[in-house]
Amino acid sequence: MQHELKQALQTELHRILHYWKQYLPDEQQGGFYGKIDHSNTPDRLAPKGAVLNARIMWTFAAAYHLLGDASLLPVARRAETYFREQLLDTVHGGVFWTVDHLGQPLETKKQTYAIAFAIYAYSEYYRVTKEEPARAIAIRLYNNLQQYSYDPRHGGYLEAFTRDWKPLADQRLSEKDANEKKTMNTHLHILEAYANLYTVWPESTLKKNIQDLLRLFKDRIIDRKSGHLHLFFEEQWQVKGHTVSYGHDIEASWLLLEAAQVIQNQELIATFRAMALKMALATEEGLDRDGGLWYEYEPATRHTVAEKHWWPQAEAIVGFVNAWQLQPSGRFLQRAAEVWRFTEKHLLDKAQGEWYWGIREDGTVMEEDKAGLWKCPYHNARACMEIMKRL
């Protein structure tokens, strides 16, 4: 089973990378198209997002690091060049949320989440190029977050600001999110970014920031009883709402442990080894009989958002393999294989490339973007790379 899963995801990684190399480069305006629809038609006038471009940069740098394929590095370089020239705010620091199709600033708010992904991407880019300006950008963005977003009174990081770092009334990352000052999602990706930065800049204050983030997850964000994550909080960490996000549960299960391992904190490694297993068990509640992972669950109304989106499946494959590595006698490898079989059968667009956004409860395909502000090569390509390394 291990060999078959590894081989399948190795093949799939090449398929994903080929798609993004073929369809995304914007040869007229530079960088990459901001949106490609379900049938692979680019929207040449679509805004270009910081998250999409950072994730492309990370994906192709990481894939080049793993595979050594010389054709991948120019794609990472293209993403880095566009990001540096158009998406970095050289006046106030941080990054723009979006620029227009011509590369001019469009939505200039400072979203902590987007800055975290830029740190994550630039750290990976430096790892493969050893270009010091790239690491300098990552460190500068880290310092921006510590200066403006970090909450020294209550701990953690605030969600969003105006371009010049003033308070912002609407802090939501997307329309589906609650308008709260602190979120699990942003903290998870700050942690991921800081851990990646630490691998190329092992600085003592950064290490302490990572430890503090891990302890926030342990003490505030993970529900110790259920193993699920709380998603939204007010400034003093009062929980707001109890929605369960199965994809985030399983994604966090392996990312938290990885961060503890990066800083080699044995106490936190032990904590998150145990927590990874608990969170994997909690995620199993969201598995359907066909192997797919449901999107969300609302305990108060017992309502399941009966859709199976692409990214929770990718994270479930990694998270269940991680749990199996921690507990080889268990059923978690079987779970990972079942999620992959579901994904392969229902989510891979074998005719036109990439993965569909998702399927509905009745099995029909959700005809959403193939690429866009949120549809990026990060989750599925990263899942493939993780499985190749782990197995």
Containing structural domain, residue 196: 2-390
Please give the Cα distance from 316 to 272 (Å, whole number): 17
Q: Is the pLDDT of residue 299 over 90?
A: yes
pLDDT tier for residue 15 given thresholds of 50, 70 and 90: very high
pLDDT tier for residue 263 given thresholds of 50, 70 and 90: very high
Please give the Cα distance from 317 to 315 (Å, whole number): 5
Return the H-helix or E-strand segment holding 98: strand 98-99
Q: Across residues 154-176, what is the average pLDDT?
A: 94
CB 140 within 8 A of CB 90: no
Q: What is the pLDDT of residue 127?
A: 98
Q: How far is CA 155 from CA 232, 235, 311, in A?
A: 15, 9, 29
- pTM across the whole model: 0.98
Q: How far is CA 339 from CA 130, 310, 388, in A?
A: 37, 11, 16
Q: Is the pLDDT of residue 175 over 90?
A: no
Please give the Cα distance from 127 to 60 (Å, whole number): 12
Q: What is the pLDDT of residue 389?
A: 98
Q: What angle do CA 319, 322, 325 make, to 5 degrees?
A: 155
Q: What is the pLDDT of residue 176?
A: 83
Q: What is the pLDDT of residue 318?
A: 98
Structural domain count, the chain: 1
Q: Is the pLDDT of residue 330 over 90?
A: no
pLDDT digits (tens, 9 = 90+) for 205-232: 999 999 999 999 999 999 999 999 999 9
Q: Give the CATH number, domain containing residue 87.
A: 1.50.10.10
Cβ partners under 8 Å of residue 88, min gap 6: 95, 96, 118, 137
